[in-house]
Chain A
Amino acid sequence: MIGRIFAVLFQVALVLLLSPLVTGFNRVLKARAQTRCGPSLFQPYRDLYKLLRKGMVIPDTASWIFSATPYVLFVTTLLASLLIPTVSANAPLSLFGGVLAVVYLLALGRFFLALGGLDAGSSFGGLGSSREMTISAIAEPALMLAVFTVAIGAGSTNLSTVAQSALGQSWRFLAPSQMLAFAALFIVLIAETGRIPVDNPATHLELTMIHEAMILEYSGPYLALIEWAAAIKQLVLMTILVNIFFPFGLSADWSPGPVLLSLALFICKLVLLSIVVALVEISNAKMRLFRVPELLAIAFVLGALALVSTFLFQA
């Protein structure tokens, strides 16, 4: 019990501290690739600190939903991060909710964020909410198919069980079903975290923005919570990708030595995945909104192929 509480606290601290760093690293990579100087690696921390100390302006049309949204979004995303294995295959709360709970907790946060966007009463909020709910809805079947493929392979929807089973066979990612599922999940990661070519987190152009449009009316501490939640969500999805498909070095329990080693490896894996994401971002242009379904249809087909190949090649 004490150990479990310690694990929860450790993972909360890890996720809170690491998630802005991943966002910062992504920005640095993109800036360097575009031969810009770019902001410091630690700029997201400074942003969050500053936003948390600033005053805020609440739209006069808004109700309590607007104020509740940042809390709900932050808390649900943080809880989702406790259900996935980061530095130990034994995730702190994975017993109380598997991968379905992760997906649905993120959906709960999104539900409130979209309501918060509508609550401000301007066109931008509604536009962002509408697009966000559309894209997440059509990303959902691809996400689930990829997740199901992994879950079927391990015989469990519990992410700790999945990671432990993957630890047993470290070369499983070479199986076609796993590679296809990885590709599907990667596309979903791009779409769900609002990266180019689906959305551009660095723009405030009315016609293209999705996430930024929803949160246009948020300021100060509320904005900080929303930005932080977005960073945590990105870390959650990336962690699922690296730790479920490439579980090398993942500690089986919470003893300090293996956890430190697995932390180092975890960061290395995140760096590699970030580089891939940044490469995708700089080598593509943003898509028209109505081209996004085609991209996600590709993800769906990849997920379905992953499933079929599980059927074909499984003894």
Chain B
Amino acid sequence: MWPIGELYSAGLLVYAVAALAGLAAHFRKKNAAWIAASLCFASLIAAALEFSASAGALIVGTELNWSLPSGIPFVHYGVRFDPLSAYFNLVLSLLAGCVAIYSIGYLKHGVAQRRPGLFCCFFNLALLSLTLVFTASNIIFFLIAWELVVVTTYFLVVTDHESVEVRKGGLLYILMSRGGTGLLYIGFLLLASVAGSTEFQALHHSGAKLSPALGAAAFLFLFFGFGVKAGIIPLHIWLPAAHPVAPSNVSALMSGIVIKTGIYGMARVFFDFYGDLPVWAGMLVLLAGVVSALLGVLYALMEHDLKRLLAYHSIENIGIILMGFGSALLFRSFGHPQLAALALVAGLFHTLNHGVFKCLLFLGAGSVLQGAGTRNMEEMGGLIRRMPWTALYFLIGAIAISGLPPLNGFVSEWLTYQGLLSGFGATSTLTRIAFPIAGALLALTAALAAACFVKAFGITFLALPRSANAERATEASLSMKTGMAALALACVVLGLGATWFIPAFAPITQQVFGVQITGQLVAGNGFLLTAGSVHNGSVSPLVLALALVALGAVPLMLWFALGRKSPRTTGPSWDCGLPGLTSANEYTATAFSKPLRMIFAALFRPRREIQAEFDVSPYYPKSIHFESEIGPTFETQFYQPLWEGFLALTARMRKIQTGSIHAYLAYIFVTLILLLLFGVRA
């Protein structure tokens, strides 16, 4: 027997103790740096404990079910380790461990260094509450943990609260999250009202007990409530505002795992609370996935702030995950549990993969930010010479997120494609066309992501430095490199060894669809990943990687036979005969994305302004001023009217806000009487 309960509670305990110790250290103000390092180490230990608990729960299949009474009806402090919870807790603890290693070195510099004790307190509290979110088994307890995540991560985001941009980003984050939680309350209470209980176990398939209209309403409230956290378009605007301004280890945590709480919530609702959903629900999720993926990557392409670019890519990848979930929902509606399981595995595997490579990329961006002192890609360049290790890890992350073989992003995108392709044969209605079209748009998304990461890596790390800061950049410290190396290794291992990890999904598909697909997904002695069967299509990242290495013999033989004796010299790049190449000759990030900005001009509505000063003729300008801007379409078209309407409403509400305490007492009294009457009569 695996001591799941003991490991789990030990992990929680270590998080809690580390959080308290951080608070104490903050007030004692002695040896702060040393204490911060040991508290990060404590987070690593806690994450390791949680990891072994979750891995054990997935492998051994034991379900933990604990509950403590709270003294309030309908509220229990209950935790449960079913396969779905265990899987998300596994993802959390894997990423938390890597981020904790990175933080040891990261907290010695930058803004977090000013209050390291307090930072570690909130960091551990955030991890503690995230663990509770994934394992809570009671609605109220879940929502308490959910709010605790919002509050603690808010404080982490506004670590550098002296800056206006940071405060604005943090405020937008907490406001949107609060709105999302409001939607969640309505949805959860609707479900609880028919289940007669707030326990997750009682809510299993309770969606069917609601009337169709109420069931649909509860689904929409929960989908959009969790959608705010996951960052689906158009509820995404807090992501590119809050992620970049946070310290980079917090950004990694936010993008890697905090937004995945939304995905966890959706998985819980879609596949646990609802046993069946109408076709439109699946189509809505698929559509939200396609739109988020495509618009996310298109906005990312236009960014030259490295961390904002990564934040937009989180939206894109959430979209890819939702494509998997949406097709799983559709397959379930059409009565194909096997295909639904395939699509669900694709979505869940991409959840892990995105967590891994996005954490890696944000940590890489953090190293760049620390080394070169800027988030603006136009001021970077040539960092591969000064930060070779960071560059290598960032490159691995870039290849993985672009979905290129043989790394992990390729595997989960491949599964998503296969799920979508199977959709064509799964039904006879016109909805079947939606699957391949979604697949084609996924291909567009992936190709644009590759273009975006050519830009992100090429402009940041290659060629000549574009500023003095970039020239003086220094490599990250050992612990930061270790944290990134662990994640880069995970990208490779999850890609090459995908067939060995896929069986871990068997308990989840068994739990939600009652089928075990993973036996069919893995063939050829565990070396082939298939799309249900070898006939439907198969891929083996490991064999492809080995074949790539083996085929390297061909160019080597050619070189040995012919080119061995030829000289190899270095010289200047072609500069059109002008005296010397400078960084001003290099292509910029803005220029790189210019063709796409023009092709998708209808979406971006770019505004540009060129002013040239000249003496004699306009053909010989002395200086040129160029300004270009992408219109914030969602903010102006969608949120601005909403905000104005809200302000108008509050202006009217002001009439009853007299400011007199007697009036307020009267309001409370009347409300109380009404509620009592209503409650007694019901």
Which one of B123-131, B309-317, B436-444 is at the interface?
B436-444
The verdict on A100 contacting B539 (CB below 8 Å), with A65-B462, A95-B528, A121-B586 known, is: yes
A76 interface contact, C-beta 8 A: yes
A121 closest partner in B (C-beta): B463
Asked if B539 contacts A96 (CB within 8 A), the reply is yes
A104 interface contact, C-beta 8 A: yes
Asked if A107 contacts B587 (CB within 8 A), the reply is no
Asked if B537 contacts A98 (CB within 8 A), the reply is yes
Asked if B551 contacts A79 (CB within 8 A), the reply is yes
Main secondary structure of the interface of A (DSSP, over half): helix
Asked if A52 contacts B562 (CB within 8 A), the reply is yes
- Of residues 426 through 452 on chain B, the ones whose CB sits less than 8 Å from some CB of chain A are 430, 432-433, 436-437, 439-441, 443-444, 446-448, 450-451
Closest beta carbon of chain B to A65's beta carbon, Å:
6
Asked if A144 contacts B439 (CB within 8 A), the reply is yes
Closest beta carbon of chain B to A282's beta carbon, Å:
27
* Residue among A108, A152, A161 with the highest chain B CB neighbour number at 10 A: A108
What does the 1/0 interface line of B544-562 toward A look like (CB < 8 Å)? Answer: 1001100110110011001
Q: Given the complex, which residues of B lie within 8 Å of A149, measured CB to CB?
A: 436
Asked if B536 contacts A107 (CB within 8 A), the reply is no
* Interface residues of B, count at CB 8 A: 87
A43 interface contact, C-beta 8 A: no
Q: Given the complex, which residues of B lie within 8 Å of A123, measured CB to CB?
A: 585-587
Q: Given the complex, which residues of A lie within 8 Å of B540, measured CB to CB?
A: 95-97
Which one of B232-240, B399-407, B666-674 is at the interface?
B399-407
- Of residues 246 through 302 on chain A, the ones whose CB sits less than 8 Å from some CB of chain B are 289-290, 293, 300
Partner of A100, one of B414, B451, B455: B414
A158 interface contact, C-beta 8 A: yes
B514 interface contact, C-beta 8 A: no
A207 interface contact, C-beta 8 A: no
Q: Given the complex, which residues of B lie within 8 Å of A145, measured CB to CB?
A: 436-437, 440
Asked if A141 contacts B535 (CB within 8 A), the reply is no
Asked if A57 contacts B569 (CB within 8 A), the reply is yes
Q: Given the complex, which residues of B lie within 8 Å of A126, measured CB to CB?
A: 458, 586-588, 591-592
Asked if B599 contacts A52 (CB within 8 A), the reply is no
Partner of A114, one of B430, B454, B555, B575: B454
Partner of B539, one of A101, A120, A130, A134: A101
B392 closest partner in A (C-beta): A64
- Of residues 520 through 542 on chain B, the ones whose CB sits less than 8 Å from some CB of chain A are 524, 528, 531, 534-540
A221 interface contact, C-beta 8 A: yes
Asked if B425 contacts A155 (CB within 8 A), the reply is yes
Inter-chain CA distance A258–B414, complex, in Å, is 34
Inter-chain CA distance A204–B586, complex, in Å, is 19
Partner of A96, one of B459, B538, B583: B538
- Classify chain A's interface size: 35 or more
- Of residues 296 through 315 on chain A, the ones whose CB sits less than 8 Å from some CB of chain B are 300, 303-304, 307-308, 310-311
B598 interface contact, C-beta 8 A: yes
Closest beta carbon of chain A to B577's beta carbon, Å:
12
B570 interface contact, C-beta 8 A: yes
Q: Given the complex, which residues of B lie within 8 Å of A141, measured CB to CB?
A: 440-441, 443-444
Partner of A130, one of B436, B440, B551, B587: B587
Inter-chain CA distance A224–B559, complex, in Å, is 10
The verdict on A140 contacting B425 (CB below 8 Å), with A59-B570, A96-B544, A308-B433 known, is: no
- Of residues 477 through 523 on chain B, the ones whose CB sits less than 8 Å from some CB of chain A are none
B220 interface contact, C-beta 8 A: no
Partner of A104, one of B405, B524, B567: B405
The verdict on A122 contacting B573 (CB below 8 Å), with A130-B591, A307-B437 known, is: yes
Asked if B463 contacts A55 (CB within 8 A), the reply is no
Inter-chain CA distance A287–B595, complex, in Å, is 15
Inter-chain CA distance A75–B591, complex, in Å, is 30
Inter-chain CA distance A303–B437, complex, in Å, is 10
- Of residues 403 through 417 on chain B, the ones whose CB sits less than 8 Å from some CB of chain A are 403-405, 410, 414, 417
Asked if B596 contacts A137 (CB within 8 A), the reply is yes
Closest beta carbon of chain B to A236's beta carbon, Å:
14
The verdict on A133 contacting B454 (CB below 8 Å), with A52-B558, A144-B439, A220-B566 known, is: yes
Asked if B566 contacts A221 (CB within 8 A), the reply is yes
A105 interface contact, C-beta 8 A: yes
* Residue among B430, B437, B555 with the highest chain A CB neighbour number at 10 A: B555
Q: Given the complex, which residues of B lie within 8 Å of A124, measured CB to CB?
A: 574
Asked if B586 contacts A55 (CB within 8 A), the reply is no
Asked if B444 contacts A111 (CB within 8 A), the reply is no
Asked if A60 contacts B595 (CB within 8 A), the reply is no
A190 interface contact, C-beta 8 A: no
Inter-chain CA distance A119–B570, complex, in Å, is 14
Q: Given the complex, which residues of B lie within 8 Å of A220, measured CB to CB?
A: 563, 566, 568
Asked if A134 contacts B596 (CB within 8 A), the reply is yes
Q: Given the complex, which residues of A lie within 8 Å of B598, measured CB to CB?
A: 290
Inter-chain CA distance A124–B594, complex, in Å, is 15
A217 interface contact, C-beta 8 A: yes
Partner of B555, one of A58, A71, A79: A71
A127 interface contact, C-beta 8 A: yes
B581 interface contact, C-beta 8 A: yes
B200 interface contact, C-beta 8 A: no
A131 interface contact, C-beta 8 A: yes
A61 interface contact, C-beta 8 A: yes
Inter-chain CA distance A107–B447, complex, in Å, is 8
B79 interface contact, C-beta 8 A: no
Asked if A137 contacts B450 (CB within 8 A), the reply is yes
The verdict on A152 contacting B569 (CB below 8 Å), with A122-B585, A129-B454 known, is: no
Q: Given the complex, which residues of B lie within 8 Å of A234, measured CB to CB?
A: none
A41 interface contact, C-beta 8 A: no
Asked if A118 contacts B569 (CB within 8 A), the reply is no
Inter-chain CA distance A310–B647, complex, in Å, is 52
A20 interface contact, C-beta 8 A: no
Q: Given the complex, which residues of A lie within 8 Å of B430, measured CB to CB?
A: 311
The verdict on A118 contacting B454 (CB below 8 Å), with A58-B570, A59-B570 known, is: yes
Inter-chain CA distance A233–B650, complex, in Å, is 63
Partner of B404, one of A104, A127, A143: A104
A24 interface contact, C-beta 8 A: no
Inter-chain CA distance A291–B446, complex, in Å, is 23
Q: Given the complex, which residues of B lie within 8 Å of A65, measured CB to CB?
A: 384, 395, 462
Asked if A57 contacts B571 (CB within 8 A), the reply is yes
Asked if B439 contacts A148 (CB within 8 A), the reply is yes
Closest beta carbon of chain A to B289's beta carbon, Å:
16
Closest beta carbon of chain A to B606's beta carbon, Å:
14
Q: Given the complex, which residues of B lie within 8 Å of A82, measured CB to CB?
A: 547
Asked if A221 contacts B563 (CB within 8 A), the reply is yes
Inter-chain CA distance A157–B540, complex, in Å, is 14
A14 interface contact, C-beta 8 A: no
Asked if A56 contacts B566 (CB within 8 A), the reply is yes
Partner of A60, one of B432, B572, B596: B572
Asked if B447 contacts A137 (CB within 8 A), the reply is yes
B599 closest partner in A (C-beta): A293
Inter-chain CA distance A290–B537, complex, in Å, is 37
A115 interface contact, C-beta 8 A: yes
B457 interface contact, C-beta 8 A: yes
The verdict on A76 contacting B548 (CB below 8 Å), with A104-B405, A121-B586 known, is: yes
Q: 16 A–B contact pairs at CB < 8 A?
A: A57-B570, A57-B571, A95-B524, A95-B534, A97-B539, A105-B405, A118-B587, A122-B581, A123-B586, A126-B588, A137-B444, A140-B446, A148-B440, A152-B425, A152-B436, A310-B424
Known: A65-B384, A100-B414, A311-B424. 12 other contacts (CB 8 A): A59-B570, A59-B572, A75-B548, A75-B555, A95-B524, A104-B405, A118-B459, A129-B592, A140-B446, A145-B437, A161-B535, A308-B433
Residues of A within 8 A of B (CB): 12, 16, 49, 52-61, 63-65, 70-71, 74-76, 78-79, 82, 93, 95-98, 100-101, 103-105, 107-108, 110-111, 114-115, 118-127, 129-131, 133-134, 136-138, 140-145, 148-149, 151-152, 155-158, 161, 216-217, 220-221, 224-225, 289-290, 293, 300, 303-304, 307-308, 310-311
In the complex, the 4 A-B pairs of residues with the closest C-beta atoms, listed nearest first: A126-B587, A157-B537, A118-B458, A133-B451
